[in-house]
Chains A and B, each alone.
Chain A
Amino acid sequence: MTTRPLTIALAGNPNSGKTTTFNNITGTHQKVGNWPGVTVEKKEGRVTWNGYTLKVVDLPGTYSLTAFSMEEIIARDFILDTKPDVVVDIIDASNLERSLYLATQLRELDTRVLFVLNMADVMRARGLHIDTQKLSELLDVSVVFTVGNKNQGTESLLRTIVELAESGKVAPAERRVKYNSDFERAIETLGSCIAKHAGNRLPYNLRWVSIKLLEGDPVVQEKVRRRLGEDADEVLQEALRIRGRLADFYDEEPEIVMTDERYGFIAGIIKEVLKSSTEKRVDFSRNIDLVLTNRFLGFPIFVFFIWAMFQLTFSLGAYPMAWLEAGVEAVSRLASALLPAGMVRELLVDGVLGGVGSVLVFLPNILILFLCIALFEDTGYLARAAFLMDKIMHLVGLHGKSFIPLLMGFGCNVPAVMATRTLESEKDRILTILINPFMSCSARLPVYVLLAGTFFARNAGDVIFSIYLLGIVLAVLTGRLFRSTVLRGETAPFVMELPPYRAPMVRGLLIHMWERSKLFLKKMGGIILVGSVVIWGLSAFPRQSDTVMRLDEKLRVHRTDLEKMIAHGAQADRIAIMRDTVRSLERAQASERVRGSYLGRIGRWISPVFEPLGMDWKASVALLAGFVAKEIVVSTLGVLYATEDESADAKEALSKALRDSGMTRLSAYSMMAFVLLYVPCLATVAAIRREANSWRWAAFSVAYSTALAWIVAFVIFQVGSRISGLV
């Protein structure tokens, strides 16, 4: 018995039940991250079984092992470079023919392969029977039956894995795909050429390398070049020559002919192992689809599901959100009471608790939202939603699956950006992430409500709607622009499998939800923490200025007066007047503090930039502070205009102050447009950086959206001023 952990890789088609099998084997001992350098998710788990330690790696789901997509390259490189002890190929037993395509490619690599025929129950229900004995013999592999979503067969799977790993059995060279004689000869010729030049410098199966070079695989060409250096040229030239000859002869690219040959080989196996009974069978999945993708019912049902998801996420989520808010507030109050007044208290209460608390409250929304998305994904409905929406999304240069993340953006961009993981193509994913912030999230609504309510009283609703519309239009234009510039290239072909509907597994849903939330808390927490402390620092320093000190002095005098008056039982109305004076002094001091702070200074310094947009320095400061979270724009304006923020008519007072400040309808509209478009909040930037896996995209998003915000607000204000000047 070995003590060294066995490395087990899970391969398989998308929708083959790979993740379910992974969950069954590892339980909750999982680590979710990314494959280095890409946005593809990597799942790893550790499990002990009968004294053996298994390190299980869930490879990305693929249909093949070519260099067609990032996922395929990752899966292949892992098998080639890490050389796992066993590669488990999860096969959808009810979809044997297509699944065997990947399986035959796995068999071409020098690795121990084990077939898992999953969804054995569906297979039987469909009246199919697979002769495993025969299959095992024909391809010389061990075969295990499982029913992943009922957790059946996991034990025997583990046993077979360990047996195979311990057997030390070398993958036999026979029982692999045999191509036609022209190709076999070509493979042999190229193989010996490689052997001659490479010696033992290529740690891969030579037959496989030959096949890949004949297919013109760019990744394998690169591997050969790296390993052989100078000698690579001759090998690659020879490969090119043979490839050209085959292409001429067949009047077809060799890789296409080989694909054909593999399927031919598979057809032979299918004929021997698959028996289909003739009894009439009901296809539940198709019956469900008759309704869910029905010409007339499809869209109403889709809209209902989306509506339900929104309601659950934001209406039901509002309750726990309120509890969390109350909790954060209680902790803040407790901290305020326990700590002596001063910098440490402010840092903890305003900086840390204020900043982290404002993000933490989104946790219930995120939990519910990801539960819904996991439900859509695991049942197979997500593919149908993409099927319904693809036509519309394609106009923007996006994939049907982009719709859900974009829609979620209206709630909160953070989970929306995280939801782009359901997209397979990296370009689609990044484009969807980049235009997501233009979907006006709910945090921006308070700003619109304040400004539109103040300046457009009667038409506030229409004005706010026009802002939402502006966001959508700009998202469409941006999508088209990026598609033809930075993210050029065709939309990924819509060759999308519509898997049969399946009942989701509760455990799978919970694991999915928990993993997402953990990521959210961990990563967001860190960046938000730093960001909020920085913004707090900028608004809290420098501590003192002459004006603030003068006000301090005045305040002290008035407070003492007030106490004296209370102590001496002065008339109630006089006490009230004095109390008001103290309050307004306090507000003036707070306002003065922000004005004199670094944030205020920066705001005043950059206010010339905002002038052409019709905004003064106070608006500039508010917009700067809004980087942490857009709701903060409102509270910062409140502080700057020194209005009361605790009384019931706080909004009214702020409205009045704004009207008196010289702001016009036009500048208010320009500010709303700016708030809609400029830098997504800190949490969103953090999510973008995480999901796009690069600071460059996050920085690009910040720069682009801010530039766009400025241009749009500029056009609105300047053109608007000209027009109203003319009238």
Chain B
Amino acid sequence: MEHEKTKLLSEISEGQRAVIVHVGGNGAFRRRLFEMGFLKGTEVHVDKYAPLKDPIELILKGYHVSLRVEEAARITVKPLPKEERL
């Protein structure tokens, strides 16, 4: 697991899935993300980018949520191969 390369969530392309490795950023923002379920080990599906390429629509824990690209860039993830299902 550890030898695989990590990426930023903002670098994951549409339709891909990834597992959260680390959430960065300042206190309040980070805490908010945690409370919304952005926890280490959680699987995230990048559903789509807005027409202007910002924000991003994500699916995690069975619900849809949007994040700005700059905010997604504070989250480190490990991309999952397309077919694999957790």
A residues near B (Cβ < 8 Å) are 63-64, 66, 68, 94-95, 97-98, 101, 253, 255-256, 259-260, 263, 285-286, 289, 293-296, 298-299, 383, 387-388, 390-392, 394, 400, 493-500
Which residue of chain B has the shortest Cβ distance to A259 in the bound complex? B34
The 24 listed contacts between A and B (C-beta, < 8 Å) are: A95-B63, A97-B61, A97-B62, A253-B27, A255-B31, A256-B34, A259-B39, A294-B51, A296-B51, A383-B66, A387-B57, A388-B51, A391-B50, A391-B55, A394-B54, A493-B68, A493-B71, A495-B32, A495-B65, A495-B67, A496-B65, A496-B66, A497-B66, A498-B57
> Which residues of B (29-86) have their CB < 8 Å from a CB of A?
29-37, 39-40, 47-55, 57, 61-68, 71
Residues of A within 8 A of B27 (CB): 253
Which residue of chain B has the shortest Cβ distance to A257 in the bound complex? B34
Residues of A within 8 A of B57 (CB): 289, 293, 387, 498
Closest Cβ–Cβ distance, residue A44 to chain B (whole Å)? 27
Select one of A66, A259, A295, A498 contacting B64, CB under 8 A: A498
Residues of A within 8 A of B68 (CB): 390, 394, 493-494
Closest Cβ–Cβ distance, residue A70 to chain B (whole Å)? 13
The 9 tightest CB contacts between A and B, nearest first, are A498-B64, A391-B52, A259-B34, A391-B54, A64-B35, A494-B68, A298-B51, A97-B61, A493-B29
Residues of B within 8 A of A259 (CB): 31, 34-35, 39
Q: Are B36 and A498 in contact (CB under 8 A)?
A: no
Closest Cβ–Cβ distance, residue B76 to chain A (whole Å)? 15
Q: Say whether B1 faces chain A, with CB atoms less than 8 Å apart.
A: no
Q: Are B66 and A256 in contact (CB under 8 A)?
A: no
- Take A97-B62, A497-B64, A498-B65 as given contacts and tell me if A390 and B35 are in contact as well, using a CB distance cutoff of 8 Å: no
Number of residues on chain B facing chain A (CB within 8 A): 32
Bound complex: CA A394 to CA B49 (Å): 16
Which residue of chain A has the shortest Cβ distance to B68 in the bound complex? A494
Which residue of chain A has the shortest Cβ distance to B27 in the bound complex? A253
> Which residues of B (3-25) have their CB < 8 Å from a CB of A?
none
Which residue of chain A has the shortest Cβ distance to B72 in the bound complex? A494
Residues of A within 8 A of B54 (CB): 390-391, 394
Q: Are B29 and A392 in contact (CB under 8 A)?
A: no
Q: Are B51 and A299 in contact (CB under 8 A)?
A: yes
Interface of A is mostly: helix
A64-B35, A95-B63 known; 11 new pairs, CB 8 Å cut-off, are A63-B36, A98-B63, A255-B31, A293-B50, A295-B51, A391-B53, A493-B67, A495-B32, A497-B36, A497-B63, A498-B57
Residues of A within 8 A of B29 (CB): 493
Select one of A98, A289, A299, A392 contacting B36, CB under 8 A: A98
Interface of B is mostly: mixed
Residues of B within 8 A of A285 (CB): 64
Bound complex: CA A95 to CA B37 (Å): 12
Select one of B32, B40, B66 contacting A387, CB under 8 A: B66
Bound complex: CA A391 to CA B51 (Å): 10
Residues of A within 8 A of B64 (CB): 285, 497-500
B residues near A (Cβ < 8 Å) are 27-37, 39-40, 47-55, 57, 61-68, 71
Bound complex: CA A383 to CA B31 (Å): 22
Bound complex: CA A388 to CA B51 (Å): 7
Residues of B within 8 A of A66 (CB): 31, 35
Bound complex: CA A259 to CA B65 (Å): 19
Residues of B within 8 A of A253 (CB): 27, 31
Select one of B30, B32, B35, B62 contacting A95, CB under 8 A: B62
Most buried by A among B37, B53, B71: B37
Residues of A within 8 A of B34 (CB): 256, 259-260
Q: Are B62 and A390 in contact (CB under 8 A)?
A: no
Residues of B within 8 A of A383 (CB): 66
Which residue of chain B has the shortest Cβ distance to A298 in the bound complex? B51
Which residue of chain B has the shortest Cβ distance to A62 in the bound complex? B35
Residues of A within 8 A of B52 (CB): 388, 391-392
Select one of A63, A293, A298, A498 contacting B35, CB under 8 A: A63
Residues of A within 8 A of B36 (CB): 63, 98, 495, 497
- Take A293-B50, A299-B51, A387-B57 as given contacts and tell me if A498 and B31 are in contact as well, using a CB distance cutoff of 8 Å: no
- Take A298-B51, A391-B53, A497-B65 as given contacts and tell me if A256 and B30 are in contact as well, using a CB distance cutoff of 8 Å: yes
Bound complex: CA A161 to CA B60 (Å): 33
Select one of A260, A387, A497 contacting B55, CB under 8 A: A387
Residues of A within 8 A of B53 (CB): 391
Residues of B within 8 A of A498 (CB): 57, 64-66
Residues of B within 8 A of A101 (CB): 35, 37
Residues of B within 8 A of A499 (CB): 64
Most buried by B among A98, A285, A294: A98
Bound complex: CA A500 to CA B47 (Å): 14
Residues of A within 8 A of B48 (CB): 289, 293
Bound complex: CA A495 to CA B30 (Å): 11
